[in-house]
Amino acid sequence: MNLSFHNKRITGMLTIVPAEEIKFEDEMENYNFSTAKSLKLKAAMGYNARRIVKEGVCVSDLCIHGLNYVFDNGFLAREDIDALILVTQSPDYLMPATSSVIQGHFGLKQDMICMDISQGCAGYIIGIFQAFMLLEQEEINKVVLLNADVLSRKVSKKDRNSSPLIGDAASLTILEKAEGSGRITGNIRMDGTGATALMIPAGGFKLPSSAATAELKEDSAGNFRSLDNLVMKGDEVFNFVQREVPPMIERLLEKAGVGRDEVDYYMFHQPNKFMLNKLADKLNIPREKMPSNIVESFGNSSGVSIPMAITYNLKDTLKDKDYRMCLAGFGVGLTWASLLITIGHLDFCAITEF
């Protein structure tokens, strides 16, 4: 599905990362591999360090920290928020929506919309789509898009498919109406037949958490995880990404009438370095235009890896310059989405630690 938007822009971006850093070598003994093999895995996948939250820290904590940052620095006035979107797969509660919890924490005005969106690696793009659609409304002038996950809390430390790559983080993006700004082109597809490729089987209404679901069991590859843990079928996800993402990007650029070389940066979700490099090669995109340095320094924080790649790599220039960027996210759902957008001349662009 193709989407297009006009007269809207991103005006500020903030990434919130936990202060606690874990090195790959510190956890190698958990992975049921020889040291030599673990180090090969590290080199191929780009696993170096990741940031994870301390026990008990929730998505709302990271988001509240981020909102305090923008309020305290004068980047945003509380009364100007007309919509608060939170994209997450690790909400504080099954109900109510965590965005409502955050609204209540700050005592924001009642005349606004709060909504949670359950989406993962493509969630940042979907959040932008939703924000732009809300901005079509006469009374909505400013949307705060929060994207946050603390999935390290749901990963078995003895699962080398997931544990060495998962990081926690949040991002805050402000989106506004902007007369005369250029056309923004998007693309999204979904395939629910692959819904079990990335999932947390227990903890919802279908299979409530219990002592039985918390029991660690060994899979055929020697990983240990419970039904309460995140499970990722790595081979299926890899094949899905390599099959679907390159043609999606081709469709997006064709629809926008933009050549591959006319894009300054390809800021893609970063599951691991190997997968990203293969995408760059397939698309004939120079690897320096598609940064892969987030997953190796912060871990894979689901959809947040996209805004984190932007703030981490371009925070020194994005306040003064414009860049045409192709954003892409792919994963849980299965979902794959992309966006061609010019980002720049931001009011703020920063990273802060929690």
Partner 1 sequence: MKEKIIKILTEIRPEFDFSEQVNFIDAGMLDSFDVVALVVALDTEFGISIDGMDIMPDNFSSVGKIAGLLQKKGVPE
Q: Give the footprint of partner 1 on this chain (CB under 8 A).
A: 33, 37, 40-41, 43-45, 160, 221, 234-235, 238-239, 241-243, 274-275, 277-279, 281-282
Contact residues for 284 (Cβ-Cβ < 8 A; gap 6+)? 260
For partner 1, the closer of residues 18 and 291 by Cβ is 291
Tell me how far, at minimum, the Cβ of 277 lies from partner 1, in Å.
8
Q: Cα–Cα distance between 298 and 168 in angstroms, integer?
A: 8
Nearer to partner 1, 40 or 321 (CB): 40
Task: Indicate the DSSP class of residue 286.
Answer: -
- The residue whose two tokens read 């089987």 is 201
* Least distance (Å) between residue 30 CB and partner 1: 15
- Choice between 19 and 43, CB closer to partner 1: 43
Torsion angle, alpha carbons of 89, 94, 100, 104, to 10: -120
Closer to partner 1 by CB, 50 or 160: give it. 160
Peptide bond into 286 cis (omega under 30): no
A 10 A CB-CB count for 322 gives 15
How buried is residue 202: exposed, middle or buried, by Cβ count under 10 Å (0-12/13-18/19+)?
middle
Rounded least distance, CB 289 to partner 1, Å: 16
Q: How far is the CB of 121 from partner 1 (least distance, A)?
A: 17
Q: Which is nearer to partner 1, 130 or 223 (CB)?
A: 223
Rounded to a whole number of angstroms, the minimum distance from the CB of residue 166 to partner 1 is 17
Minimum distance from residue 84 beta carbon to partner 1 (Å): 38
Hey, which residues does 90 pair with through a beta bridge? none
CB-nearer residue toward partner 1: 236 or 347: 236
Cβ closest to partner 1, residue 277 vs residue 293: 277
Query: What are the C-alpha distances in Å from 145 to residues 126, 243, 285, 305, 322?
Result: 10, 30, 29, 15, 21
Q: At closest approach, how far in Å is the CB of 66 from partner 1?
A: 35
Could you give the CA distance from residue 84 to residue 73 in angstroms, rounded to a whole number? 19
Distance from C-alpha of 29 to C-alpha of 38, rounded to nearest angstrom: 9
Residue 128 vs 197, nearer CB to partner 1: 197
CB 85 within 8 A of CB 115: yes
Q: Are 315 and 173 in contact (CB under 8 A)?
A: no
- Identify the three-state secondary structure at position 225: strand
Q: Are 226 and 213 in contact (CB under 8 A)?
A: yes
CB of 220 to partner 1, least distance (A): 10
- Nearer to partner 1 by Cβ, of 33 and 312: the residue is 33
48 vs 283: CA distance, rounded Å: 26
Tell the smallest beta-carbon distance from residue 282 to partner 1 (Å): 6
